[in-house]
Amino acid sequence: MIVLRSALFNVAFFSITFIATLLASVARLTSPDNVLAVAMLWARTLLLAVRVICGIRLEVTGLEHIGTGAVLIASRHQSAFDTFVWLTLLPRCCYVFKKDLLRIPLFGALIPAAGMIAVDREGGGSAIRNLLRETDRAVGEGRQVVIFPEGTRTEPGSALVLQPGIAAMASRSGLAVIPVSTNSGRFWGRRSFRKRPGTIRIVIGEPIPPHTERKALMRALERGLVAVD
């Protein structure tokens, strides 16, 4: 049954994504400000599909720690689920994505059009400078910036290794950093075809104060990005 449900969801996922990509591509040409709205509709539809088809539900705690203005959200990353769920939780979500996604036909052009931030993992200093410029732009637009400080999806229970980008963004913007933990990988695995029924929990921690010294910030993040059952 899980295999069948997973197959049905994959069909739904690609169908919904294809339709949303076409709609967003039209919006990009005719009304660019609506590209983000299409992305949010896409995410809500996927969230409904994964609940109905796969029996995966969502439970969020600590949402009160996030306001409506600019903020930095540092989330653990275990699943593709994490890459769209924030579009359903935030008023103006801005993901930090790997630059490789820009190469996807049609979809890639929509990432910057929706105001997302593409980062080159191999770009060294120039990548950090671009990340900071884009952070300035997103903060100026009042966006809630979501970054996965581990840099890639990790298995549940794996050791936490944080990349330095979040510290640079926090120093540049002067914003609080909000640590977020999840157990999404238990039900939607990193590279797994199967989607297991259950409840994905997102636990939003208390903000780490603005202008926290770099080492103290990274230690606070390590404490805040806890394992979730």
User: In whole angstroms, what separates CA 150 from the centre of its chain?
Assistant: 12
Rounded CA-CA distance 27/5 in Å is 32
- SS3 call for 178: strand
Q: Enumerate the domain spans of the chain.
A: 56-224
Residue 38 CA: distances (Å) to CA of 16, 47, 109, 122, 125 = 11, 14, 14, 30, 33
**C-alpha span between 27 and 144 (Å, rounded):** 22
8 A C-beta contact, residue 203 and residue 190: no
Q: For residues 132 and 172, is the Cβ–Cβ distance under 8 A? A: yes
| One pLDDT digit (tens) per residue for the chain, 229 residues | 899 999 999 999 999 999 999 999 999 999 999 999 999 999 999 999 999 999 999 999 999 999 889 999 999 999 999 999 999 999 999 999 988 888 888 888 999 999 999 988 776 778 889 999 999 999 999 999 999 998 888 888 787 888 888 999 999 999 999 999 999 999 998 878 889 999 999 999 999 999 999 999 999 999 888 878 7
The fold of the 56-224 domain, in CATH, is Glycerol-3-phosphate (1)-acyltransferase (3.40.1130)
The DSSP code for 188 is: B
Q: Is 19 helix (H, G, I), strand (E, B) or coil?
A: helix
